[in-house]
């Protein structure tokens, strides 16, 4: 009798573990905060600067590149970058806090000059409830 109970509990435990392996993303999505991805736009502009060459002031132009993010994705020169983590039983997404250098805001967009690349994924809305390394569920683009 004890053997049957032990065998039944073992089968039940292994069945739950197997189901969790296949359905962990669906289960995670019930309890994790949902995050949308911000669309990162690229841009550049020409900036003039002056240099003294052989005692003569000369104006030069250089192209400076930047990225544009929605204003609600940036707070106090920080953004939450989404990273995809792969583990033996599957994968999940986390948010990590990143310090960026900004150069002003216009039309609801913040100009990012340093600290971020165009191919990274950024949370569309900066949430106070997020913390560094928090697991999230990524939804569609903002």
Segments making up each domain of the chain, as ranges: 1-31, 35-141
Q: Give the tens place of pLDDT for each residue, 25-39.
A: 677 677 888 889 998
Alpha-carbon distance of 15 to 24, in angstroms, equals 14
Question: Among positive and negative, which fits the CA dihedral 73, 77, 80, 83?
Answer: positive
- Is the CB of residue 122 less than 8 Å from the CB of residue 36? no
CATH T-level topology, domain 35-141: 2.40.420
Round the average pLDDT of the chain to a whole number and report it.
86
CA distances from 69 to 60, 65, 96, 115 (A): 29, 14, 17, 13
Q: Is the overall model pTM greater than 0.85, yes or no? A: no
Q: Which two tokens stand for residue 117?
A: 């690349």
Q: Give the tens place of pLDDT for each residue, 88-112.
A: 877 788 999 999 999 888 889 999 9
- The pLDDT confidence band at residue 80, using thresholds 50, 70 and 90, is very high
The residue ranges of DSSP E strands in 4-133, in sequence order, are 34-37, 41-53, 56-70, 78-87, 90-99, 101-106, 109-114, 121-122
């Amino acid at each position: 009798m004890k053997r049957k109970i032990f065998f039944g509990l073992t089968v039940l435990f292994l069945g739950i573990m197997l189901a969790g392996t296949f359905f962990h993303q669906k289960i995670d999505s019930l309890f994790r905060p949902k995050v949308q991805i911000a669309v990162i736009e690229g841009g550049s502009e020409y900036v003039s600067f002056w240099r003294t060459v052989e005692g003569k002031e000369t104006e030069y132009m250089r192209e400076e590149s930047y990225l544009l993010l929605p204003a609600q994705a940036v707070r106090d020169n920080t953004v939450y970058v989404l990273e995809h983590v792969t583990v033996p039983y599957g994968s999940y997404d986390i948010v990590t806090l990143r310090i960026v250098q900004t150069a002003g805001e216009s039309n609801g967009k913040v100009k990012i000059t340093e600290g971020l690349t165009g191919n990274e994924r950024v949370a569309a809305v900066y949430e106070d409830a997020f913390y560094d390394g928090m697991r999230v569920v990524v939804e569609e683009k903002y």
